Each structure stands twice: as structure tokens, then as C-alpha cells.
Amino acid sequence: MEPISTIIVTALAAGAAAGLTDTAAQAVKDAYAGLKRLIKGRYARAAAGVDVLETDPSSKDLQAFADKQLAASGAANDPDVQKLAQALLDAVEKHSPEAARSIGVDLKDIQAGSMRLADINVQAAGAATGVSASGINVAGDFVIEGVHVSSGIGPAAAPEKPRIKVLFLAANPTDTARLRLGEEVRAIDQALQLARYRDMFDLQQAHAVRAVDLQGLLMRHEPQIVHFSGHGASSGEILFQDDAGRAYPVLPQTLANAFSLLVDHIRCVVLNACFSQSQAKAIAQHVDCVVGMSEEIGDKDARAFAAAFYGGLAYGKSVKVAFELGRNQIDLAGLRDVDVPQLLCPNCDPGAVVFLKI
């Protein structure tokens, strides 16, 4: 990593290690939240790297992934991002030093004929370095070997599984045709479980969803991907349920307004419902990538598309490739609605939207 991006990634890792705990100083939490908000607000492409790093701040792989996203989006060269990153590091050092970078052996201003360091073990809550050396003047051999760095106290604990959150919303009102929505979510879950990066996706579900439930579900789960499965009307409304379980139509602009207010984490919305393209167009003004259906879509077609789409994402494919995999799966299954799913990304390149690529 370049020196500048190293500072930003180190700040994010240290801030995540400290700022997500209940005991962390408010100054650290505020500094970390401010840096995240700035990066996500200006550089949507870097959002996935920031979110994934938060799940395991000490992971070198996730730090490298975050660095790539920061560099590719241009965030690493933003003076405002650099300034907030340094402020976060200062806050961590002052208020939560236990979460700052741990150093197993810190060598400074040493003169010696020869030096040998061996069997260095470092255990830390956050980012860690085995050996740091500066101002060293050794005439003979200078050997460092057997350096081991791990996270946690005592034996290295298994890190929490990183998560990209997928929120599956289902509504099948009693006065509409019965859909096999349980089979759809099962197909998505199986596709995720069979994929290479299955441990990095978290599928959450909510069924019999009412329109008034939407805001709360989005705020509670903070998903990166929202999937709606149910009915759409030919006039353009999405059919949620009312308190009695009957169809409750919601206009495109009304639904789009909800996403515009709660768009902080959401990068993709899939409307797996008939006639949902007009809804998708409205939501796509606020969310990077939205999938909608141009007309009626069969139950089997919808399931085939959804399983292949999420399977592609969980193999590290871009949204564009995952979408094409979904349509191709409809074709491979000998079904007829291959041209019904539509991908709308008016404000970004779907080929550059990758939720996970390590």
C-alpha cells in the first residue's frame, strides 16, 4: 500500500476496533463515524471496502481489499479524507490506545555489532506489527525471524465472519395469487452457501411485509442489498400488505423516497416482482444498481434469476456480471422470461460495483 492509503486504512482499522465497542470514548466513535460518512458520501465504490473491514479490522486481506477500493475510487487522494483519517488516529491514540497499532518489538536509535531477534509473538485487539525499527546502526548481522501476529487475548480466536447484508423482503397478500416465496429465499440461501465467499454474506429475511414496516427494517438491518419478492401491478405499484393481509399498493415515487432517505448503506435493490421496472427507475435515482422486471415474470424464472444473481455476487463478480448470470440461468433452464429482468444503473458503471473481491 502507498503511505497515504496506509494511513487511511490503518485509521479505519483502528477506529473500527475501538469505535464499535460500548466502552470506546465518544470522540473515537465520532471521528470514526465522520470518516466513514465522508468516504461513503463521496466515494460509493469504496463503501464495500469500509463495511467489510469493519467486520474484522485486523485482517490483512480485508485491509488490502479496503485499500484497493479506496485507491480505485480516488478516496485515498482526497485531502479531506486524509485529514479525517489523521484526526481519527489521533483520537484513538489519545482515548483508546489499546486499539491502536500494537508493536511486538519497537527498536529505536540502536547501535550494535550484530543483533538477532526470534520467536516474537504479538496479540492485539486491532492492527498489529511484529517489529518496528528506526535509527538502527548494526555493523554485522541483523536477523529477525519467527514473527507471529494474531488478534485477541491468548490463543488466536477465530475472527467474526465478515458480512455483506442481504435483506430479503417478501409480501404475498391474501387477495393475490400465491407465490412460492419460501422456495425463492431458499434458492438464494443455497446459492450463497455454495459460493466461494459464502461466509462473507448474511441473508436476513422479513415476510408478510407491510409498507409501514419498510423504514424500520432498512434502519435495523442496514443492508447493502435489498431484495423484494412479491407482486407488482401493471400500473406500476409494488404490492405490500395491509394490517389485514390484503394488497396495499405503493407508488414508485413513494417507494423511491423511502430509499432516498435511508440510502447510506444500500448499493443494490432487486425488485423480483412483475411490472416493477417503473419502480426500479425511480429508485435508481438514489441507489447505484436496481433490478426491475419489464413485465410479468414466472415463478420459476424469478427463482432461477435470483439464485444465479446472488451466487455470482458471492463468487466476487460485479453486479453487471451477476445480472447477466441470472438472465443466462433462465435461458439455461429452458424458461421463457430471459429478457424480462432489467438492470438500471444511470449513475454508475455496474461492472465496477463489486461487493466482495479478494
**207: helix, strand or coil:** coil
Residue range 300-342, pLDDT digits in tens: 999 999 999 999 999 999 999 999 999 999 999 999 999 999 9
Residue (of 262, 177, 248) closest to 212 by Cα position: 248
282 to 140, 215, 320: CA distances (angstroms): 69, 17, 19
Which helix (H) or strand (E) covers residue 25, if one does?
A: none
Rounded to whole angstroms, how far apart are CA atoms 237 and 279? 7
The answer to whether the beta carbons of residues 290 and 345 sit under 8 Å apart is: yes
Question: For the chain, which domains are there?
Answer: 3-99 (no CATH), 102-151 (no CATH), 164-352 (3.40.50.1460)
pTM for the model stands at 0.58
Write down the pLDDT at residue 252. 96
Question: Phi first, then psi: what are they for 58, rounded to 5°?
Answer: -85, -5
Which helix (H) or strand (E) covers residue 152, if one does?
A: none
Rounded to whole angstroms, how far apart are CA atoms 70 and 64? 10
Beta strands in the chain (DSSP E): 102-112, 115-124, 128-138, 142-151, 164-171, 201-206, 225-232, 238-241, 247-250, 268-272, 289-293, 341-344
Residue (of 164, 191, 147, 129) closest to 358 by Cα position: 164
Write down the pLDDT at residue 141. 65
Residue range 258-285, pLDDT digits in tens: 999 998 899 999 999 999 999 999 999 9
Q: Low-confidence residues of the chain, pLDDT below 50?
A: 1-2, 100-104, 125-127, 151-159
Write down the pLDDT at residue 21. 55
Residue (of 343, 301, 299, 346) closest to 322 by Cα position: 343
Write down the pLDDT at residue 88. 81
